[in-house]
């Protein structure tokens, strides 16, 4: 069965996480993604270890960092030095045949090489360009570099994360980068759809700061509606009670009671059915107002039994709750295993672990069958197939350090 983006060609000139995340998603959806990398070192994340893929070390190959492997499945790696005039010419030729360009250079960074979107569309007006930066193409911060941690701080997320009396905290994953990659992909797919009508591409401008502000979701509206900045609630929810982590006799669980009927079932299971009719607790708004009284009472009751005993009862009662798993425990979870969220590529007998694309089409996983490429492993093939360069020409470019 054909993949949704079969026949679409993507020139991925991005590095680290946000851009490569978008490129990997497009590759999973069937696009041919050509990853352009520096001949020396390639994508920065190739060196962001440990941990390293041990199989690559045992076979005497170049080290491959787990960080790099998380975001580059399905791509062809082509090394090109874009500071060299001949390297710039190669990129222009590849862009002339491409449908999409993804890049995360600083504002104006590609223009100095004549590889900016305006220059490339002169010969390929159908090209869709997606530029990912820290702060966007305009504004007082446009010239600045942006990194996920800094953007979580500037964009308000850290002010919401952590214990009320503790230090503001970032998330355990570079969530702003990941969300930026997803927003970039949405924009690219919208532009592809529009191009069917207009025959022309679009330039998409997506910034980490914009994405972080947009994904504050209910918390941003809490601030705009109330006029007050939300405070940190630790694992608690600012708008729902009980919706947080609780200690049990042997560990912790999370309760996510989202409506009044679920709360009534919880109250009954805890041996306090009268809570469901108490005006102080009967509605979510009342529970939020009286969280300081209610939450400690729930915590006291939950400490009397083990986590798994409570979880079994909550499952039987239809009360949303779950364990707090480690990442290793996540991949041992029966639901996660059933859905095939972890899988392996086998390359030359070496195992390359991967996390699957969560999208399914007609009940089938939508994941590329190509492992993350070694640096430059596809240079000769891609330049030969797409640009017609023969072995002699490729050898000359290699000798000059262009590829």
75 and 160 assigned to the same domain? yes
Give the C-alpha distances (Å, rounded to integers) separating 6 from 1, 3, 351, 401. 10, 5, 27, 33
Flag whether 181 is in a domain. yes
Q: Which of 325, 352, 370 is the last residue in one of the domains?
A: 325
pLDDT for 4 equals: 96
Q: Which helix (H) or strand (E) holds 352?
A: strand 350-355
Q: How many domains does the chain have?
A: 2
293 and 356 assigned to the same domain? no
Q: Which position among 177, 313, 332, 344 bears the catalytic label?
A: 177
262 and 389 assigned to the same domain? no
Q: Which of 292, 325, 358 is the last residue in one of the domains?
A: 325
Flag whether 235 is in a domain. no
Instruction: Reply yes or no on whether 308 is catalytic.
Output: no
pLDDT for 63 equals: 82
What is the residue-averaged pLDDT of the chain? 95
> Above 90 in pLDDT, residue 345?
yes
What are the backbone dihedrals phi and psi of residue 133, each rounded to the nearest 5 degrees, phi first? Answer: -135, 175
Handedness of CA 300, 301, 306, 307 (dihedral sign): negative
Distance of CA 399 to the CA centre of its chain: 37
> Above 60 in pLDDT, residue 58?
no
pLDDT for 261 equals: 97
Per-residue pLDDT of 295-340, as tens digits, reads 999 999 999 999 999 999 999 999 999 999 999 999 999 999 999 9
Give the structural domain span for 169: 9-215+340-400
Per-residue pLDDT of 180-194, as tens digits, reads 999 999 999 999 999
Flag whether 331 is in a domain. no
The CATH number assigned to the domain holding 310 equals 3.30.1540.10
42 and 162 assigned to the same domain? yes
| Angle between helix 391-399 and helix 379-387 axes, rounded to 10 deg | 130
Read off the pLDDT of each residue in 193-222 and give the average, rounded to a whole number: 97
Read off the pLDDT of each residue in 204-230 and give the average, rounded to a whole number: 96
Where residue 224 falls among pLDDT bands split at 50, 70, 90?
very high
167 and 65 assigned to the same domain? yes
Percent of the chain with pLDDT over 90: 95
> Could you tell me which of 275, 252, 271, 254 has the C-alpha nearest to residue 263?
275
DSSP assignment of 300-318, as one string? HHHTTS-HHHHHHHHHHHT
266 and 314 assigned to the same domain? yes
276 and 131 assigned to the same domain? no
156 and 29 assigned to the same domain? yes
pLDDT for 60 equals: 58
Flag whether 387 is in a domain. yes
Where residue 349 falls among pLDDT bands split at 50, 70, 90?
confident
Whole-number Å distance between alpha carbons of 353 and 343: 6
261 and 286 assigned to the same domain? yes
The CATH number assigned to the domain holding 115 equals 3.40.50.10540
Flag whether 1 is in a domain. no
> Above 70 in pLDDT, residue 148?
yes
pLDDT for 307 equals: 96
Give the C-alpha distances (Å, rounded to integers) separating 182 from 30, 61, 80, 264, 301. 16, 32, 27, 38, 41
Question: Tokens 């009508």 belong to which residue?
Answer: 197
Read off the pLDDT of each residue in 130-153 and give the average, rounded to a whole number: 97
307 and 344 assigned to the same domain? no
Flag whether 72 is in a domain. yes
Please tell me the total number of residues recorded for the chain in this structure: 403
pLDDT for 128 equals: 98
Q: Which of 269, 294, 325 is the last residue in one of the domains?
A: 325
Read off the pLDDT of each residue in 343-367 and give the average, rounded to a whole number: 93
303 and 363 assigned to the same domain? no
Helices vs. strands in the chain: H and E counts, helices first: 18, 13
Flag whether 208 is in a domain. yes
Flag whether 223 is in a domain. no
Where residue 55 falls among pLDDT bands split at 50, 70, 90?
low
Where residue 59 falls among pLDDT bands split at 50, 70, 90?
low
> Above 60 in pLDDT, residue 57?
no
pLDDT for 5 equals: 98
19 and 160 assigned to the same domain? yes
Percent of the chain with pLDDT over 70: 98
Where residue 62 falls among pLDDT bands split at 50, 70, 90?
confident
């Amino acid at each position: 069965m054909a993949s949704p983006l079969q026949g679409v060609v993507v020139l991925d000139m991005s590095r680290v996480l946000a851009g490569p995340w978008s490129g990997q998603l497009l590759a999973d959806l069937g696009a041919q993604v050509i990853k352009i990398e520096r001949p020396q070192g390639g994508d920065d994340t190739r060196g962001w270890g440990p941990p390293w893929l041990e199989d690559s070390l045992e076979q005497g190959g170049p080290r491959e960092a787990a960080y790099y492997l998380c975001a580059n499945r399905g791509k062809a790696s082509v090394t090109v030095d874009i500071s060299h005039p001949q390297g710039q010419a190669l990129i222009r030729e590849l862009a002339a045949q491409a449908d999409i360009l993804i890049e995360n250079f600083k504002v104006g960074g590609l223009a100095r090489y004549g590889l900016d979107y305006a220059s490339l569309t002169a010969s390929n007006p159908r090209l869709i360009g997606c530029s990912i930066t820290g702060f966007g193409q305009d504004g007082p911060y446009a010239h600045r570099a942006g990194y996920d941690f800094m953007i979580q701080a500037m964009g308000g997320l850290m002010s919401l994360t952590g214990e009320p009396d503790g230090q503001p905290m970032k998330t355990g994953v570079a969530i702003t980068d990941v969300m930026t990659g997803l927003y970039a992909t949405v924009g690219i797919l919208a532009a592809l759809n529009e191009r069917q009508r207009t025959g022309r591409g679009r330039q998409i401008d997506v910034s980490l700061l914009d994405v972080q502000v947009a994904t504050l979701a209910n918390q941003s509206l809490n601030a705009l509606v109330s006029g007050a900045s939300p405070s940190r609630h630790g694992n608690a929810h600012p708008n729902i009670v009980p919706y947080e982590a609780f200690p049990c006799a042997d560990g912790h669980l999370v309760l996510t009671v989202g409506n009044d009927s679920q709360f009534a079932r919880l109250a009954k299971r805890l041996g306090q059915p009268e809570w469901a009719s108490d005006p102080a607790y009967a509605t979510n708004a009342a529970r939020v107002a009286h969280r300081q009284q209610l939450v400690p009472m729930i915590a006291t009751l939950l400490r009397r039994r083990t986590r798994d005993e409570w979880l079994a009862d909550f499952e039987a009662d239809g009360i949303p709750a779950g364990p707090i798993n480690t990442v290793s425990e996540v991949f041992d979870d029966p639901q996660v295993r059933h859905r095939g969220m972890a899988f392996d590529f086998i390359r030359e007998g070496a195992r390359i672990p991967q996390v699957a694309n969560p999208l399914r089409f007609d009940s089938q996983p939508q994941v590329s069958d190509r492992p993350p490429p070694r640096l430059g492993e596809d240079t000769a093939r891609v330049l030969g197939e797409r640009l017609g360069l023969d072995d002699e020409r490729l050898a000359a470019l290699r000798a000059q350090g262009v590829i």
